[in-house]
Amino acid sequence: MKTEAPFDRSNPPGFDVPKDHAYDGIQEFDNPLPRWWLGTFAITVVFAIFYWMWLHSLPNGPLSFPTYGEEQAAYDLKMLANAVDPATVVAASKDPATVTRGKALYTERCASCHAPEGQGQVGPNLTDKFWIHGGDVKSIYMTVAGGYPKLGMPEWRTVLEDNQLVDVVAFVLSIRNTEKAGKAPQGESYSGE
Ligand code: HEC
């Protein structure tokens, strides 16, 4: 006759019921999964749904390919800038032939936004002491080479040759701190080099 055992909390019914087989002396039990395990599993399922929506149906998820592309581009830019010796560019900015070449490039490519004398228009004033993205040689070089396309400053490394980048940055250095009246200062004051 089947008798109803009193409920034992430490050993609820369904626990420790051996299956009718054993292999190599190992006995299998058919216990329910622990509650904490099932709970965690349910949370991962719910998380996965929202994570999927965040990545694929809302526009703000960082997908791996674009993120990789951006990181690669940032790394390439850093390598490009590291290959340039700031002292050489500073010296170039005092070399009249380089500055003339840089000015020609500037007039052709940059004056439409930064005004003919660099006093600023759409783009910031390049003749004051204030810089949004840094006023040291490397920062200016990175700004010009890599641009800030989302902020309206084009990327020039895909348009200009490496030596042309140096020429135009040398020109920017030659007009830095010449204080032409123009667009109001933007960014932080820089007075180095
Ligand atoms: C289509 C317009 C446009 C053109 C063309 C352009 N710029 Fe810019 N530039 C901008 C804008 C807009 C910004 C400011 C971005 C921001 O808000 O951070 C900027 C920022 C800069 C800065 C950083 C200034 C700072 O305060 O940190 C430098 C340096 C610069 N440009 C140099 C150049 C040079 C050199 C060229 C030509 C090779 C050029 N720009 C061509 C629009 C332009």
Calculate the dihedral angle through the C-alpha atoms of 160, 177, 136, 193, rounding to the nearest 10 degrees.
120
Pocket test for ligand 1, best of 93, 112, 113, 188 (most atoms within 8 A of CB): 113
**110 C-beta closer than 6 A to ligand 1:** yes
Query: Residue 59: helix, strand or coil by DSSP?
Result: coil
* 154 C-beta neighbours (distance < 10 Å), count: 15
Architecture, CATH, for domain 75-189: Orthogonal Bundle (1.10)
Closest ligand 1 atom to 135 CA? 27
**180 C-beta closer than 6 A to ligand 1:** no
The rounded distance, in Å, linking the Cα atoms of 183 and 126 is 9
DSSP state of 183: S
| Ligand 1 atom 16: residue of nearest CA | 151
pLDDT of amino acid 148: 92
Find residue 29's DSSP bridge partners.
18
Q: 40-61 b/e with 16+ CB inside 10 Å = b?
A: eeeeeeeeeeeeeeeeeeeeee
Digitized pLDDT (tens) for each residue of the chain, 193 residues in all: 555 555 565 665 556 677 788 888 888 888 888 999 999 999 999 999 999 888 888 777 778 888 898 899 889 888 888 888 889 999 999 999 999 999 999 999 999 999 999 999 999 999 999 999 999 999 999 999 999 988 999 999 999 999 999 999 999 999 998 988 888 989 888 887 6
| CA 66 to centroid of ligand 1, rounded, Å | 24
**148 C-beta closer than 6 A to ligand 1:** yes
**122 C-beta closer than 6 A to ligand 1:** yes
CA 126 from chain center: how many Å? 25
Closest ligand 1 atom to 112 CA? 5
**137 C-beta closer than 6 A to ligand 1:** no
